[in-house]
C-alpha cells in the first residue's frame, strides 16, 4: 500500500538561489526604488541536543556546538546614505553532522551523521554607528527569522544581533561583514554564532 504522506522534497541550492535572483530582478526593475541586492555567505556554530544510552536507559541529553555554513541573497531597503537600512535575507544553509555524546556506551547513541539542509529567511535592520555610509562605516545589526524549510520537519525560529562594517569601493558597490550571536528556538533555546561576508549592488 503506498504511503499517504511523504516527506517534502527540499529544492536544490541552485533552484533556491535562482528563484531568489528572479525575485530580486523584479525589485531592481523599478528606477525609483532605493536599496539594493546582494550575495552573502556565512559560517558559524549552533547548538544541537544529542542523546546517549546506557543499555536501555537514556542518559541526560547533551547540548553541543556544531558547524553551519551557507549562502544566499539579500534585499536592502533605504537610500545608500541612510544610517538605518532594512535588510531581508534568504539563505540556503547546511548544518554539519552531530558528534557522539560523551556520557554513553561506545556506539550507543542517536545522532545526525550527515548534513541537514535548511531554507532560512531573516528580516532586520542595519544601523550605522560611526562613519560615512557612502564610504566606510561601522554598524550594528539585528535580525529575526526562521528556518522555515527542512526535510525532517525540524523548522525553528531564530534571532541574532551583532556588529559589522560596510565599505563602498564604487558608487553602486558595497562590501560588508558581520559578526553576530543569537538563538534558535525549537521546543527549547539553542545558542548560535555566525560570521557573514557579502557584497551588494546599490540601486541609487
Domain assignment of residue 22, yes or no:
no
Residue 16 within a domain = no
Grid coordinates in use for 202? 546599490
Tell me, what CATH number does 159's domain have? 2.40.160.20
Considering its fold, how many domains does the chain have in total?
1
Residue range 28-41: average pLDDT? 76
CA distance readout (Å), 107 to 102, 152, 173? 11, 23, 51
Do the Cβ atoms of 125 and 136 come closer than 8 Å? no
Instruction: Determine, yes or no, domain membership for 17.
Output: no
Q: Provide, rounded to the nearest whole percent, the portion of the chain with pLDDT above 90.
A: 65
Range of the domain at 172: 35-202
Q: Please, are residues 20 and 40 in contact by the beta-carbon 8 Å criterion?
A: no
Cell of 199: 557584497
Residues 6 or more apart whose CB falls under 8 angstroms from that of 115 comprise: 94, 95, 96, 97
Whether 3 is covered by a domain: the verdict is no
Listed range (30-34, 41-45, 107-111, 186-190) with the worst mean pLDDT = 30-34
**Is the pTM for the entire model greater than 0.85?**
no
Residue 18 in domain:
no
First-last CA distance in the chain = 59
Nine-digit cell string for 111: 545522532
Beta strand extents in 9-83 (DSSP E only):
35-54, 57-58, 62-77
Q: Indicate whether 1 belongs to any domain.
A: no
Residue 161 host element (H or E): strand 156-170
Query: Which stretch of 6-20, 57-71, 85-99 has the lowest confidence by average pLDDT?
Result: 6-20
In a domain, 23, yes or no: no
Q: What are phi and psi of 47, to 5 degrees?
A: -85, 140
Q: Tell whether the torsion through CA atoms of 69, 72, 77 and 83 is positive or negative.
A: positive
- Give the DSSP letter of residue 70: E
Q: Is residue 54 part of a domain?
A: yes
Residue 2: is its pLDDT beyond 80?
no
Amino acid at each position: 500500500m503506498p504511503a499517504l504522506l511523504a516527506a517534502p522534497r527540499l529544492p536544490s541550492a541552485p533552484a533556491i538561489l535562482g528563484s531568489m535572483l528572479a525575485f530580486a530582478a523584479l525589485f531592481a526593475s523599478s528606477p525609483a526604488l532605493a536599496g539594493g541586492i546582494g550575495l552573502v555567505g556565512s559560517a558559524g556554530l549552533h547548538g544541537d541536543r544529542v542523546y546517549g544510552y546506557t543499555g536501555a536507559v537514556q542518559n541526560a541529553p547533551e547540548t553541543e556546538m556544531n558547524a553551519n555554513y551557507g549562502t544566499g541573497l539579500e534585499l536592502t531597503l533605504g537610500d545608500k546614505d541612510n544610517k538605518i537600512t532594512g535588510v531581508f535575507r534568504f539563505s540556503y544553509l547546511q548544518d554539519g553532522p552531530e558528534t557522539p555524546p560523551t556520557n554513553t556506551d561506545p556506539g550507543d547513541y542517536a545522532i545526525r551523521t550527515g548534513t541537514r539542509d535548511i531554507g532560512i529567511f531573516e528580516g532586520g535592520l542595519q544601523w550605522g554607528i560611526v562613519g560615512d555610509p557612502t564610504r566606510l562605516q561601522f554598524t550594528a545589526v539585528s535580525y529575526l527569522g526562521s528556518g522555515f524549510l527542512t526535510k525532517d520537519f525540524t523548522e525553528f525560529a531564530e534571532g541574532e544581533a551583532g556588529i559589522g562594517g560596510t565599505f563602498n569601493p564604487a558608487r553602486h558597490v558595497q562590501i560588508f561583514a558581520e559578526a553576530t550571536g543569537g538563538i534558535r528556538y525549537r521546543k527549547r533555546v539553542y545558542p548560535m554564532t555566525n560570521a557573514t561576508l557579502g557584497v551588494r549592488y546599490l540601486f541609487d
